[in-house]
């Protein structure tokens, strides 16, 4: 009989993936589910990226690729980092992987020893902590409360760092809260990190371009060049260019780390799809107006969703500055009973009853390290959002 490896005993399936899977199962059973759990853009991949992939395939670019990325894509990535972030990376400081999630996996696999600590600000993306645990690391959660707009305070970061700290994860704009980071705020975090030269920085910039109301973007290696040699700057084409299914992520970092990560990648998979890399290069080098168009639509959806949720009894909704999520406070909905008789003691109870009774899929905030909250993605069409929020409001109105 199969027995899972012991290393999996404390590694959990991500709540967003589990909820998205449950929504698909209910749809397959004929139930009209509104799924607001997945962070996947509903826009089409830019046509010029698709055409680049098609041309690459027709030209015979269908053989094994280099493990760290094709020369054409690596050159485009280097141009992107210089253009958008004012960071110059050499060719051996850049690599391509199967989405930004594998970049992070490669980095932790290449660097963590048993007991090494990874500081994860929370609320934060689920996989940071789970991947760290998979590699024998110890996630150290640092609270970023709503009264500080879900942002990491320098003094809290400083207090969390120990001699065992290997990595600090920074993710702005943030999943799940949408919090962005000003240059002054990033400067303060960098000043703390300068005091601790043994600590590596993982800057997950996947939502870099999804910002609203003039919110700034900056990344540690840009703000403080002295940190460049211990910073891994992670990005990809999935969110900004609606290319989730192409599975192309990339990073820039110190050459010894990139070599180790490439070694890991070569053992678990290898180089990334050649046609996908051609598409990604075209997206990075091509017209960027498509991104601005998507951002404008996301901003409109955000404003509507925040307004609709604020109409639901018991829900308080912070207005996010970036990404495409809202992180709504459910404190006013707890210690009540739903119309279907479900006792709502936690945010997990809330999302389960919401799915069962109103057929809306969302994700509980406790999965991201802070309760009681509800994460909704507004990376879907307006009518779906309108219907989903109406069902949430009706659910809240039925709480007694």
Contact in structure between 327 and 374 (CB atoms under 8 Å):
yes
Domain C-terminal end among 285, 315, 344: 285
| 23 located within any domain | yes
Q: What is the pLDDT of residues 318-369, one digit of tens each?
A: 999 999 999 999 999 999 999 999 999 999 999 999 999 999 999 999 999 9
Instruction: Answer yes or no: do 196 and 253 share one domain.
Output: yes
Domain C-terminal end among 224, 257, 285: 285
Q: Where are the beta strands (DSSP E) in the chain?
A: 34-35, 94-97, 117-122, 138-143, 165-170, 200-204, 231-236, 249-252, 316-317, 325-329, 336-337, 343-344, 360-361, 363-364, 373-377
Instruction: Answer yes or no: do 146 and 257 share one domain.
Output: yes
Domain count along the chain: 2
Instruction: Answer yes or no: do 264 and 338 share one domain.
Output: no
Contact in structure between 79 and 285 (CB atoms under 8 Å):
yes
| 329 located within any domain | yes
Per-block mean pLDDT, blocks of 10 residues, the chain (400 long): 85 75 82 91 97 98 96 98 98 98 98 98 96 97 97 98 98 98 98 98 98 96 98 98 97 98 95 97 96 97 98 97 98 98 97 96 96 97 97 98
Instruction: Answer yes or no: do 343 and 246 share one domain.
Output: no
Instruction: Answer yes or no: do 275 and 300 share one domain.
Output: no
Instruction: Answer yes or no: do 386 and 363 share one domain.
Output: yes
Range of the domain at 152: 64-285
Instruction: Answer yes or no: do 256 and 364 share one domain.
Output: no
Q: CATH number, domain at 328? A: 3.90.1150.10
Nearest to 353 by CA among 366, 364, 340: 340
Tell whether pTM > 0.85.
yes
């Amino acid at each position: 009989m199969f027995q899972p490896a012991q290393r999996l005993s404390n590694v959990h399936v991500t709540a967003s993936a589990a909820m998205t899977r449950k929504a698909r199962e209910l749809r397959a059973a004929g139930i009209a589910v509104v799924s607001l759990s997945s962070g996947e853009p509903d826009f089409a991949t830019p046509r010029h990226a698709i055409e680049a992939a098609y041309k690459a395939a027709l030209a015979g670019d269908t053989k094994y690729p280099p493990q760290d990325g094709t020369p054409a894509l690596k050159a485009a990535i280097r141009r992107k980092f210089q253009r958008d972030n004012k960071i110059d990376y050499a060719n051996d400081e850049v690599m391509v992987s199967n989405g930004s999630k594998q970049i992070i996996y490669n980095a932790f696999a290449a660097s963590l020893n048993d007991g090494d600590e990874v500081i994860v600000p929370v609320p934060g993306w689920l996989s940071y902590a789970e991947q760290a645990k998979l590699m024998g690391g110890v996630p150290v959660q640092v609270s970023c409360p709503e009264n500080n707009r879900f942002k990491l305070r320098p003094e809290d970061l400083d207090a969390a760092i120990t001699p065992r700290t290997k990595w600090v994860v920074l993710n702005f704009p943030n999943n799940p809260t949408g919090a962005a980071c000003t240059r002054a705020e990033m400067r303060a975090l960098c000043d703390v990190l300068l005091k601790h030269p043994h600590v590596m920085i993982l800057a997950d910039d996947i939502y870099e371009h999804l910002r609203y109301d003039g919110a700034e973007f900056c990344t540690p290696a840009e703000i403080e060049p002295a940190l460049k040699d211990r910073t891994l700057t992670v990005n990809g084409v999935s969110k900004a260019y609606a290319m989730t299914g192409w599975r192309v992520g990339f990073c820039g970092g110190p050459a010894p780390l990139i070599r180790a990560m490439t070694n890991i990648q070569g053992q678990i998979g290898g180089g990334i799809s050649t046609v996908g890399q051609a598409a990604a290069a075209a997206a990075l080098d091509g017209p960027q107006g498509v991104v601005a168009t998507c951002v404008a639509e996301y901003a409109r959806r955000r404003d509507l969703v925040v307004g609709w949720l604020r109409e639901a009894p018991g829900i308080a909704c912070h207005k996010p500055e970036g990404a495409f999520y809202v992180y709504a406070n459910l404190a006013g909905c707890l210690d009540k009973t739903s119309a279907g008789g479900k006792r709502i003691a936690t945010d997990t109870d809330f999302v389960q009853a919401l799915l069962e009774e109103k057929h809306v899929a969302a994700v509980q905030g406790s999965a991201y390290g802070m309760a009681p909250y509800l994460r909704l993605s507004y990376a879907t069409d307006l009518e779906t959002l309108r219907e989903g929020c109406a069902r949430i409001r009706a659910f809240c109105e039925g709480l007694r």
